[in-house]
Chain A
Amino acid sequence: MILSVLTMMTMFQNKHVLVDTCVLSYIFRSPDIFAELFNEFAKVKCNICIHALLRLEFVRSAIGKAEKDKFDKFLNEEFLTIPVDSIVYKMADELYPLYNYCGSVRNQRQISVVDAINASFLKKYNDGLFLLTLDNSDYPLEILDRVKVGAIDDGKQILTWGIYRFNPVKFEEKMGRFEGRGRK
């Protein structure tokens, strides 16, 4: 089950955690595990949230309108939805080339739109917002910090979740190299 690592984590006290689409999907494979994990966040008053594009990415798997309506109702009732505003959009626009630069160094595929928006949210809200994901390779440590990891054993496979936050110092340093201001 979940490693009980969040209980004493004052780092998350009164903060927010953004839940990636892969986590939203996996909740329905292992409900007990994620109820337990989210409860650990709740113990330190850490709010669980999504944004409009995460919602779209998840809801698009609905079969029929009735199921979509149930998805919407569930997300509305259980997750705080943060609006994707022009600030986040602008940050994502700026982040794309840098993110791809980090990815190309590691021979990784291009960043997805939702991953860029997620990273932009982390940048906008800085130390007030974390990201919970199962797709750890999508979030480059060149500009983000992985502050916590844990394992999920659902009896069929073992998955690793990671929690990330934006690191402005790393970002500025990487941006400097990217723009040719510092050493390559």
Chain B
Amino acid sequence: MNKTQQYKLPSVRKFDSKRFLKKVKELREVMLTNDPKRFDDDDNVSK
């Protein structure tokens, strides 16, 4: 493989923090409804 080869990533998409926050909070509610103790375990952050 050519070590100097440059790969390009797709172009930038617009991020809207208010929209993002709204969706995260809605989904968080769904997750807590399905399992109220979902975020109780601090060790269960990753994976």
Contact = CB atoms under 8 A, between A and B. Distances in A.
B27 A28 contact: yes
Interface string A89-122: 0100000000000000000000000000000000
Size class of the B contact interface (CB-based, 8 Å)? 20 to 34
A22 interface: yes
A162 to B, nearest CB: 13
Interface of A: 14, 16, 20-22, 25-29, 31-32, 34-36, 38-39, 41-42, 45-49, 57, 63-64, 67, 70-71, 74, 77-78, 80, 82, 87, 90, 124-126, 128-129, 134-135, 156-157, 159, 168
Given A32-B21, A57-B47, 14 more contacts: A25-B45, A25-B46, A28-B24, A28-B27, A28-B28, A28-B31, A29-B45, A38-B17, A47-B12, A47-B15, A80-B10, A128-B7, A128-B9, A168-B3
Interface of B: 1, 3, 6-10, 12-15, 17-18, 20-21, 23-25, 27-28, 30-31, 34-35, 39, 42, 45-47
